[in-house]
Amino acid sequence: MENNHYHRNQNPHVLMFAYPLQGHVIPFVNLALKLASYGFTITFVNTDSIHQQITKARQPTNADDGEDIFAEARKSDLDIRYTTVSDGFPLLFDRSRNHDQFTEGLLHVFSAHADELVGRLVNSHPEISCLITDTFYVWSSVIANKYNLVSISFWTEPALVLTLYYHLDLLRSHGHFDSADNREDAIDYIPGVRSLKPKDMMSFLQAKDTSTVVHRMIYKAFADVKRVDFIICNTVQELESETISALHEKQPTYAIGPIFPPGFTKGVVATSLWSESECTQWLDNKPRGSVLYASFGSYAHCSKNDIMEIATGLLLSEVSFIWVLRPDIVSSDEHNFLPVGFKENIKDRGLIVTWCSQIDVISHPAIGGFLTHCGWNSILESIWCSLPLLCFPLLTDQLTNRKLAVDDWRIGINLCDKKSITKEEVSDKVNGLMSGKPGDEARKNVKEVRKILENAISSDGSSEKNFTRFIDDVKMKSVKRCGPA
C-alpha cells in the first residue's frame, strides 16, 4: 500500500532494532510480542553476531530451526517477521575483548548498515510506518526522518537513569560531571529527581576521563533521543512518577513496564546468548526459600579477587546456592578464578552453571534470595518473584538501580559497604538476607512493590493504560505523517 494511502484503521508496521547486548534484546523481544498481540505487524532486527550467538546457544536441541527466533511465536497468529543486519564486523571478531573498537563501529559504521536495511524494507507490505530503536543508538531520528517514519525510542532501564543522561548539560554546568574536580555534594536540581548522591550516578557519569568512546556514544545518543517522536520506558509509573512526569513535559514519555514474556515463563522466542543449564531438578530437592541465586548478568566483569572472596563467603555462610558464572566473568583470558577445591567443598550445597534460564530458576519455590549485579531486567524479574536482593552493582546503570532498590524501595541490602569486598562480609550478608532480619524486612517490602507491578499491568493499570495511549498516539502520528486515507 502506498504511504500516502495509509488507512487510519490499518495497524502500523513497526521496524524494531534491538541493541546487541542480551539485557537489551530480552525486553525488545517481549515488546515485539506485546505489540504484535495488539495487531501490529513487526519486523524485528538482530545483528548477525547476536543471531549467531543465539542460534549457537540453542543448537544442541533445536538444530533445525535456528534461522528464525520468532518461528514458534508466529504459530499464535502473530505477524512478526525477522531479519538480521551486519554490525560492521566479521562474525568471528571478539566484541567483548575488543569492546572499545566494537563501540567505535556502532558509533560510526553501524548506521550505514541500518540505513541500507531500512531502505530495503521500507516498502514492504504493509508499508513500514514506525521505527523503534534502543535509546543507545545514535542514528535513530536521522534514519526515521529520511524515510518519513514515526520514531520511537525504547529505553530498557529505569526512568531515573534516562533522566540523568538526558540532563547531562545540567550535571556539567553544576560541576557534578565532566569537570576537573567533580562536586561531591547532593544533586538536587534534576527535574523530577528529589536528591541523589554522586556515588549513585551511573559509572560513566562518575568517570574522570569523559572522552572515551562510550562517552561519545552517550553524548550523541542523548542528543538524538531529544528529536524522536515518543519515548517508551520499561518501568512503572507508580515507582518513578515524578521522574516520568518531568520527562513527559519535555517530550511524550510512557512508562509501559514491566515488559515480561506472557505468563512470566520462559518465552517461546530464544534470547539467550549461551547454552542454558537445567537447574530445576536440583532445586526440586531443596526446601522452600532455602537457596540463594547469584548471577552478575550477561555483560559485566568482576575482579578475580572479588570472585574469590564471594566464593569463600558463600562457603562460610553454609547457605545453599546456584551461582551463574560465565566463563568470561573475570576476562576472556582468565578461567581459573575460583579457590582451589571450591567445587569439591560445596558438594551438593552449591551448583555452579555457566548460564541458565533466569526466569525458570528465580520463579522456583526453593529460591529465597538473589545476589545480583542490579541489572534492570534482574531487578524487575526478582520483584515479580517477591525475592529480596543482595546488591553488588558493577558498572553503568547498576549503581543507580541499586539506589532505587536499596534506598528508595528497600527491597534489598548492599553486599559490600566499603570499597573492597571480604569473605566475612559476604557470609554475614548472605545469612542476613536468607534468614535474618534485613532479609525479612526486604522480603516484606518486595511483596508490596510486587503488588505495584501487578496492578500496573492489570487491564486498568497504569502501564496498560499508558501502552494503549502510546499505541493510539503512534497510530495518529502515522496517519499525519503518511497523509489521510
Whether pLDDT at 257 is above 50:
yes
With the CA atoms of 438, 441, 444 and 445 taken in that order, what torsion angle do they form, in degrees rounded to the nearest 10?
A: -100
Q: Quote the cell numbers at residue 301.
A: 566483569
Q: Cα–Cα distances in Å, from 474 out to 8, 35, 253, 254, 366?
A: 11, 12, 12, 12, 43
Alpha-carbon span 166 to 163, nearest angstrom = 5
The β-bridge partners of 14 are 42, 130
Does the reported pTM lie above 0.85? yes
User: For the residues 300-306, what does the mean pLDDT come to?
Assistant: 90
What is the C-alpha to C-alpha distance for residues 379 and 386, in angstroms, rounded to an integer?
10
- Cα distance between residue 334 and residue 305, in whole Å: 12
Average pLDDT, the chain: 92
> Is the model's pLDDT at 124 over the cut of 90?
no
> What is the tens place of the pLDDT at every residue in 57-102?
887 554 445 579 999 999 999 999 999 999 999 999 999 889 999 9
Amino acid letter for position 422: T
pLDDT digits (tens, 9 = 90+) for 18-50: 999 999 999 999 999 999 999 999 999 999 999
The residues, ordered by sequence, that sit 6+ positions from 352 with a Cβ below 8 Å of its Cβ are 322, 323, 325, 338, 343, 346
**Whose CA is closest to 277, among 207, 358, 171, 209?**
358
pLDDT tens for residues 129-157? 999 999 999 999 999 999 999 999 999 99
The pLDDT score that the predictor gives to residue 483 is 58
Distance of CA 53 to the CA centre of its chain: 18
Q: Which residue has the cell 504511504?
A: 3
More confident residue, 451 or 7: 451
Among the listed residues 150, 140, 136, 96, the one whose alpha carbon sits nearest the alpha carbon of residue 115 = 140
Rounded to whole angstroms, the Cα distance separating 175 from 396 reads 20
Classify strands 253-255 and 230-233 as parallel, antiparallel or unpaired: parallel
Q: Compute the distance between CA of residue 207 and CA of residue 192 in angstroms, rounded to an integer.
A: 24
10 Å Cβ neighbour count for 280?
Answer: 12
Say which residue, 348 or 79, is predicted with more confidence.
Answer: 79
Report which of 420, 400, 376 is spatially closest to residue 206, judged by C-alpha positions: 400
Give the rounded distance of the alpha carbon of 375 from its chain centre.
6
Half-sphere exposure of residue 54: CA atoms within 13 angstroms, side-chain side: 23
Q: What b-and-e string marks burial along 201-219, b requiring 16 or more CB atoms within 10 Å of the CB?
A: bbbbbebeebeebbbbbbe
CB 175 within 8 A of CB 183: yes
What is the Cα–Cα distance from 450 to 439, expressed in whole angstroms?
Answer: 16
Do residues 91 and 48 lie in contact, with contact meaning Cβ atoms separated by under 8 Å? yes
Q: What are phi and psi of 368, to 5 degrees?
A: -120, -5
| Per-residue confidence (pLDDT) for residue 9, from 0 to 100 | 53
| AA identity, residue 233 | C
C-alpha cell of 78? 502473530
The reported pLDDT for the residue numbered 60 is 55
Report in angstroms the alpha-carbon separations of 325 from 56, 151, 229, 274, 282.
19, 38, 40, 12, 17
Average pLDDT over residues 439-443: 97
CB 159 within 8 A of CB 255: yes
Cβ(6)–Cβ(483) under 8 Å?
A: yes
Contact 366, 283 (CB under 8 A): yes
Q: What is the pLDDT of residues 315-346, one digit of tens each?
A: 999 999 999 999 888 877 777 889 999 988 99
Q: What is the pLDDT of residues 196-253, one digit of tens each?
A: 999 999 999 999 999 999 999 999 999 999 999 999 999 999 999 999 999 999 999 9
Quote the CA–CA distance of 143 and 440 in Å, as a whole number: 50
Binning pLDDT at 50, 70 and 90, where does residue 382 land? Answer: very high
Amino acid letter for position 416: C
Instruction: Pick the closest to residue 89 from 67, 117, 113, 66 (CA basis).
Output: 113
